Structure 1
Amino acid sequence: MTPQSARRKVGGVLTVGLILVSVSACSLGVKTDATPKGTGSWTVLTYSIADTDLEPSMMDDIDEMGKVGSNENLSIIALVDRAADYSSDSVLGLDDWTGGKLLEINKGSATELEDLGDINTGDPAVLADFITRGIAKYPADNYALIISDHGSSWPGVGGDESSDSDLLTLAEIDAALASGLAAAGVDKLDLLGFDACLMATYEVASTLAPRADLLLASQDLEPGHGWDYAALATASEPVDGPTLGRALLNGFAAQAAAEGNEESITLSLVDLARMPAVDEALAKFSAALVQRGSAVAPIVGVSLASTLGFGRSADPSQDSHMTDLGILAGEIGVKALDVSEAADALVRSINDAVLDKVDGIATLGATGLAIYFPPQQDYFAAEYLDLDPTGGWGAFLTSYYGAGKSIPANKRAQFTTAAGEVTFADDGLYISAPFASADNLAAASIRYGLVETDGSITFLGQEEASFSTDGSGVAKGYFDLTTMTISDDTDTVNAYLKLLTDKVAGVTTITVPMAYYAPNGVGGDIYQDVLLSITTDAETQEVLTETYYAFNADLGTYGELTTDPDGIIVPEVLNILEDGTEEWLATSDYGLYADLPSLRYEFVRLAPGTSLYIELNVTDFGGNTSTVSAYVILP
């Protein structure tokens, strides 16, 4: 995941933001002496970066706000920037438009306060201006700001497609909030929400803690419907921030259940006043890990491999590399007793800060805050070290990667045989092989594919394997000889799968790298990277949920995919080059019509006589991998 390279200087943002606030307020005739609403009143500001493929979903959100509308206790003010091509629907009585509009949301209708024209919602000055004007013209006892669009965790939110896909970086969001609130004469927001993917992270919460009392955001990818804004009705009566936050949280969970994707959701309500305690606990935990260095690194590697992650992909370059901080710290504390006190303190501080949360079967046990942790330095974005604060986590990652590079050659992941031993049993295939040492191992996996007539391999998937820690020195993997096909009732294609099974929850999470070609791009080389996320029953393989997420490789952002049914969608193919380098290829030579609700998924057992390639891998915490493989004919 590579954040946008061009960044604005924060100092410049503050200056421009204040100037824009001053000019815009005057031009609109904003009254600084506007009469506040009654005690316990709310002004909810929604910042909809809808100049993206999420526009149709965001228009649904505006309609949901219209089910409530502003009233004597509640003002709902929306800045909505629409795109030219994704939707032509009217919303709350307003015909389709392109560009930004400032709206007051009423019950069943919307009042246009200003046509903003072609604006860049990735410009922090625009966000700061919106905050100041909204608070000045609609004073209340409580203020909430909700930012909606694609999310990418610590790199930010966005971006605006008519402005070179400019996104709001975390530093820019922080600067915009500081500027906008200061100009409005308000110390902080009562509630800050991100209706976007991957924003419930330590980095986001710690950075923005001075700007709001509460944070509402998701650790994982969010389905396209996002939050249910009809839950704003709770603020029609005097309520406090936690009450409104919980209403939005519960509304999201109920809507996800109605849409059939509740198995893989997350949303957490964080008390930002308690983030300084999390900062302190993380700093002590990070320092303890740095102090132990290479001695604790193998434990960290094993813990990371088994910890719940978010925005995962079979293609590491499209993985968000976000992992659950509470679960990770707890696992490390159990296995490394000399850091258990610091780990326990960190877990307690997270539990104290997270006031409420929802999770699904596939995200069971999510603690409410994620943190950035690529398993190897090759996937680490150096820009992360520019964040402030990081609770010492950046220093730990630097130390961890250094320890990985320093693993002695004779202590790296290494099988002691050239080929894996294959046996057939339990309606599947086992592959096993002895390895030299488990001291630094972090994970084991299998990968399998069809052997084509020209000798090339069409890979079908990868999944977890196991390695012994009792001194026997054997790694083993199992493949049930089934693969997944996707069909549009005209064509059927094999899909490359990455499978992670949670035996406690009884579900398997499957991710499939794919590519979407718009109708005017079929047959060309321009496509959109896509991640298909599927949750199945681990025993029956019944598909419980499936959601397609668009991935922006330049920004590292995710959001549910919007397609034209006349376009095509294809699984990406894993290609192994002669030097062993791996690359993912998206070809439009074959594919399925992109009518996503009509696609069917089936797990098919490979036929007897199939020529199969299978490999078993062990990887140490430094990223060194050893592989044994075998070619077999299925009985």
Structure 2
Amino acid sequence: MRTATSLVALATGTALLLGLAACSAEEKAVKSGSWTVLSYSIADTDLEPYMMDDVAEMGSVGSQENLNIVALVDRSADYTADDVLGQGDWVGGKLLAVTDGGADELEDMGDVNTGDPQVLADFITRGITEYPADNYALIISDHGASWPGVGGDESFDGDGLDLEEINQALTDGLAGTDVEKLDLLGFDACLMATYEVASKLAPHAERLLASQELEPGHGWDYTALQTIPDNGGATVDELGSALIAGFEAQAVDQETQAEITLSLVDLNAIPAVDDALAAFSGALVERAAGVAPVVGRSLASALGFGRNPDPEQDVFMTDLAILAGEIGVDALDVSDEADDLIRAINDSVLDKVDGQATKGATGLSIYFPPTEALYSSDYDALGVDGDWADFLVAYYGAGSAVPEESHTTFADGDAVIDFDADGVNVTASFDAEGAENISEAFIRYGTVDADGSVTFLGREPADFDDEGEVVGSYDLSQLTISDGEDTTGAYLDMTIDGDVVTFDVPMTYYAPDAEDGTDALLSLVIDGDDLISETYYTHNVEAGTYGALSADPDGIISPELLNVDADGTEQWLSTSDYGLYADLPNLEYDFPNLESGTELYLELQVVDFSGNVDTVAVTVEVP
């Protein structure tokens, strides 16, 4: 196996001097508004089929007057054998100068680790040095994980680029050029529009283009690069807005628009966000004990991204400006700091798009696990400004300091059950002593198995009020999925925003002949009575990254249900021994009613800001 070799060193060889440019930087005139776009495609992953479509889109534009497109494309042996840009199929990395409908191979890199920051640094140096332009963009494509980074390369044990490695690659790559900053830094990846990413990488680029939410498989529409030659050049904001518009149009065309986000962030404005966040965090720390219940309720209601019914697969990213606004409304003693933070974020986000299920997303998210047990200590090493980690410590500390008698608990007495034409309603009361600490409430429902365990079919938000009453409703239906031959039940976790309802459905995908499965998530978005979006994502447990699921139709997709033993042990189990064929576009969804006489377990939960959970449950028969 060849090892990754420095691109800069290779570029000095006479054979490779024929590569990137026909003339030297000194001989090449740099036109105002011209661009060199560097595409770093970590396609040695299950996203390869989607990313090859992206590379083909670049080829439909090609390098033209005012535009150079240079791509480092690393491919796998496992996912697709498609010809790309006239290069046929290949395994490993290739450095390509993208032309009109094709590409010139500049280097066959062989087995290259695209999770090595030096490879990225050398690519940046070489692309900028040998393709001089007025503006430079770097776009990194693969699975994303928010602040943990992007990647990783499956030929090198899933090695990815964490945030510090990206920071180092940008530092080293730009140091080898006469360019101080990139004009545009883009992440065509899930979850990368975060405060942490923007703050850490702000010194290296003028603008950041990234998504707060999980991205659909098609990613960006790179035909939007045509805006540069069409207009004789482009400013960074013109290019960023063109890419946002192209992404939205492609999402509408492919019916994935319900959950999209993409934001263009002015990184020069991030120091003001740092300062405003530090002031907001400091105010929260000073008042942690008093404001923590408000923060808990605000977190529960704020728009979140990368959410998953299984907390081990949730990334706990929350829209920062929405969170600050919610806190500022109810905690007036920090409202000035909240308003300042919101203004700073709004000033930094120059353009954005959202969908029906992500409506109101403001452009930057931030890490906020609801409890200390879910917090990753890796966050402590990020070294970003804003003092957010200090606030999280204070918040968790305030939760642990709440005396037991102030925990949110249900009052003595059974839940009240009421069947009506819409299903069943469960009502219960909780003690007033802990009422102020409650953050959220849920109803969970499932069927009782012969061994006394419960197979949960779903969870939905329940309503609670200041008088101590919780009401949860369930329509007595179950989500089922069919491949035309078999039908199986599925668990759903419901989020409601007006008429828009999102169902998150945990699954496992098995490639043909594979013994081990891959964690997956189906997201269904319903507006009124209309299913407006169905998107499948995959989750890499080791890397913590998300991306669109690329499934072989001959593979198996198996929905999961949450099983709880009589002793309270919870585990996710496959709904059947056979699963469904993973022909994802042709799977059908239904919500049949449970059969009359089914023994049904209904459970109301209240959760306080410190993570304490109390439950009241009842078992009934479906009428």
- 1:439 equivalenced with 2:439 (yes/no): no
What is the correspondence of 1:304-315 to structure 2 with a 5 Å cutoff?
Answer: 304-315=299-310
Trace 1:176-575 onto structure 2 (pairs within 5 A): 176-236=169-229, 237-417=232-412, 419-436=414-431, 437-469=434-466, 472-503=467-498, 506-521=499-514, 524=515, 526-537=516-527, 539-540=528-529, 542-575=530-563
- Cα distance in 1 for residues equivalent to 2:479 and 2:169: 46
Partner AA of 2:106 in structure 1? L
Distance 1:406 1:34 in 2: 69
In the TM superposition, what whole-angstrom CA distance separates every residue of 1:465-506 from its partner, at most 9, and x where no partner exists?
12111xx21111111112210000111111100001101xx1
Distance 1:209 1:36 in 2: 29
Summarize deviations over 1:221-246 as a string: whole Å, max 9, x none. Answer: 00000000000011112211000000
Q: Which residue of 2 aligns with 1:33?
A: 26
Tell me how far 1:426 sits from its aligned partner. Answer: 4.3
Q: What secondary structure does 1:87 align onto?
A: coil
Secondary structure of the residue that 1:234 maps to in structure 2?
helix
Q: 1:424 deviation in Å?
A: 1.2
Q: CA offset at residue 439 of structure 1?
A: 1.5
The aligned counterpart of 1:6 is: none
Q: What is the one-letter code of the residue matched to 1:84?
A: A
1:85 to 75, 78, 91: 78
User: Of residues 156, 169, 184 in structure 1, which corresponds to 2:162?
Assistant: 169
SS at match of 2:244: helix
Whichever residue aligns with residue 263 of structure 2, its letter is S
Query: Which whole-Å deviations, capped at 9, do the CAs of 1:312-357 have from their partners, x for residues lacking one?
Result: 1111111110010010000000010000000000000000000000
Counterparts of 2:28 and 2:510, CA distance in 1: 52
Contact 1:52 1:160 in 2 (8 A): yes
Comparing 27-36 with 209-218, greater Cα deviation is found at: 27-36
Specify the SS of the correspondent of 1:304: helix
On the 8 A contact 1:34/1:136 being kept in 2, the answer is no
Give 1:21 shift: 5.4
Q: Do structure 1's residue 604 and structure 2's residue 592 form an aligned pair?
A: yes
1:114 aligns with 2:107: yes
The offset of 1:185, in angstroms, is 1.8
Query: Which one of the candidate residues 50, 56, 64 is aligned to 1:57?
Result: 50
- Which residue type is aligned with residue 439 of structure 1? E
For residues 293 and 224 of structure 1, the distance between their equivalents in structure 2, rounded to whole angstroms, comes to: 41
8 A Cα contact 1:21 1:183, kept in partner: no
Aligned twin of 1:141: 134
Tell me which amino acid in the other structure corresponds to 2:440.
Answer: A
**CA–CA separation in structure 2 for the residues paired with 1:587 and 1:300:** 37
Task: Please report how far the alpha carbon of residue 543 of structure 1 lies from its aligned counterpart in structure 2 after TM superposition.
Answer: 1.6
Say whether the 8 Å CA contact 2:488–2:576 is kept in structure 1. Answer: no
In structure 2, the CA distance between the partners of 1:22 and 1:226, relative to structure 1 (3 Å rule), is closer
- Percent identity of the aligned residues? 59
Counterpart residue type for residue 450 of structure 2:
T
Unaligned residue ranges in structure 1 (runs of 5+): 1-15
Report the residue type matching 1:394 in the other structure. A
Give the stretch that moved more between structures: 27-36 or 262-271. Answer: 27-36
The match for 2:613 among 600, 625, 631 is: 625
Letter of the 1:104 counterpart: A
8 Å CA contact 1:517, 1:569 repeated in 2:
yes
Q: Which amino acid aligns with 1:548?
A: Y
The alignment's TM-score, normalised by the length of structure 1, stands at 0.94
State the one-letter code of the partner of 1:459: F
- Could you tell me how far apart the structure 1 residues matched to 2:372 and 2:484 are? 43
Question: How far apart in 2 are the matches of 1:578 and 1:483?
Answer: 22
Question: Could you say what secondary structure the match of 1:77 adopts?
Answer: strand
Separation (CA, whole Å) in 2 of partners of 1:474 and 1:634 = 24
- What per-residue deviation string (whole Å, max 9, x for no partner) do you get for residues 135-164 of structure 1? 111000100000000000000000000011
Alpha-carbon separation, structure 2, partners of 1:418 and 1:554: 44
C-alpha contact 2:453 2:566 (8 A) present in aligned 1: no
How far did 1:418 drift? 5.2
Aligned partners of 1:227 and 1:248 also within 8 Å? yes
Residue 74 of structure 2 aligns with an amino acid whose one-letter code is D
Q: 1:244 to 1:453 in 2, by over 3 A?
A: same
Partner residue, 1:23: 9
Report the AA paired with residue 322 of structure 1. M
CA deviation vs aligned residue, 1:53-95 (integer Å, no higher than 9, x gap): 1101111011111111101210000000000010000011111
Contact 1:420–1:615 (CA under 8 A) maintained in structure 2: no
Following TM superposition, by how much is the alpha carbon of 1:455 offset from its aligned partner in structure 2, in angstroms?
2.7
Distance 2:10 2:521 in 1: 41
Aligned residues: 610
Tell me the equivalent position of 2:572. Answer: 584
Give the distance between the partners of 1:581 and 1:396, measured in 2 at CA.
33
Q: 1:590 to 1:390 in 2, by over 3 A?
A: farther
Look up the equivalent residue of 2:452 and give its one-letter code. Answer: G
- When residues 369 and 432 of structure 1 are mapped into structure 2, their CA distance, relative to the original with a 3 A threshold, is same
Work out the CA distance in 2 between the residues paired with 1:111 and 1:25.
15
Q: What do residues 109-134 of structure 1 show as CA deviations (whole Å, max 9, x unaligned)? A: 11101101100000000000000000
Is 1:67 the counterpart of 2:60? The answer is: yes
* TM-score computed with the length of structure 2 as normaliser: 0.96
**Structure 1 residue 22: deviation in Å?**
4.2
> Could you list the per-position Cα deviations for residues 425-471 of structure 1 after superposition, in whole angstroms to 9, with x for gaps in the alignment?
242111111111311111100100012233322210001012111xx
Amino acid of the structure 2 residue aligned with 1:132: T
Q: CA RMSD in A?
A: 1.5
**C-alpha distance in 1 between matches for 2:457 and 2:109:** 50
Q: Measure how far apart 1:419 and its partner are.
A: 3.2
The Cα shift of 1:618 comes to 0.3
What is the one-letter code of the residue matched to 1:245? Answer: G
User: Post-superposition shift, 1:519?
Assistant: 1.5
